[in-house]
Amino acid sequence: MTDPAELFVVPLARPHASRRLVCLPHAGSGASYYRRWGRLLDDSIELWVVQYPGRENRFDEPMITSMDVLAAEVADGVAHSEMPGRSTALFGHSMGAAAAYEAARILEGRGADLAHVFVSGCPAPGTAPAESARLMSDAEIIAEGERHGGVAKEVFDDPDLRALLLPVLRNDYFLVDSYRSPDRPLLRADVSALVADRDSWVSVDSVRGWRKHTRGTFDLTVLEGDHFFLRPREDEVIEVLHRGLGAAVPSSPRRH
């Protein structure tokens, strides 16, 4: 098991927070993508972001190629870093949402009670897989990244950055494409799903299907944008998180 100190990044320590939100990044991304959320969230919430191996400060570690292994790693890290009196919720976007869901099932299977599970930009389990990224050329992976708005063209135009990013994208796309979610007990936790109205990867109907995977409450938020709506619609996303975690929703956005 990875040491929780290596697995998680805590952008802003809030030792007296009553809630912990664990975020799982999307394919090709790292913990730094969510760093600013630490200051945008209510003071009662401490942000923990999973740092996948093979990127940023874990660049020299081998990448994980299996969703089951990734979910187990996250579940173990969450369980071994619990604090008395502090509830835990999970949030994931795209690949991170699938990993968050699988980690939640592991944790609940061990008897844990999660405060909430947030799944963003990810179809409900059971959707047919796409073409395997292991069979895609570099040019096809670059085209996918640019087409869906996740990677700026300037990044791929830089040979050094392209050499760093392509293996990560190929690994993560394969991880998503090879993911199969077997039938298991429904989640007990409440689930909130988010999706963009112009997402070329994920339809609103496919995200609505998450309703069938929880015995708790379910709500769906449809926001304006493409697959990578988290930054442009940041205020609305933070509001969904606050509402799901029972935190006060500020009357105006918090900016630092």
Active site members: 94, 227
- Enter the tokens of residue 174: 């394969």
CA dist 144 and 138 (Å) reads 10
Q: Which of 74, 30, 70 is nearest to 179 (CA)?
A: 70
As a 3-state breakdown, the chain gives helix, strand, coil percent values, each rounded to 5, of 40, 15, 45
Q: Is 225 left (phi over 0), alpha (psi -120 to 50) or beta?
A: left
Q: What is the rounded distance in angstroms from the CA atom of residue 161 to the CA atom of residue 205?
A: 36
Residue 182 backbone class (left: φ over 0; alpha: ψ -120 to 50; beta: rest): beta
Cα 75–Cα 79–Cα 82 angle in degrees, nearest 5: 135
Which residues contact residue 18 at a Cβ distance below 8 angstroms, ignoring those fewer than 6 apart? 44, 85, 86, 87
The closest alpha carbon to 91, from 117, 115, 57, belongs to 117
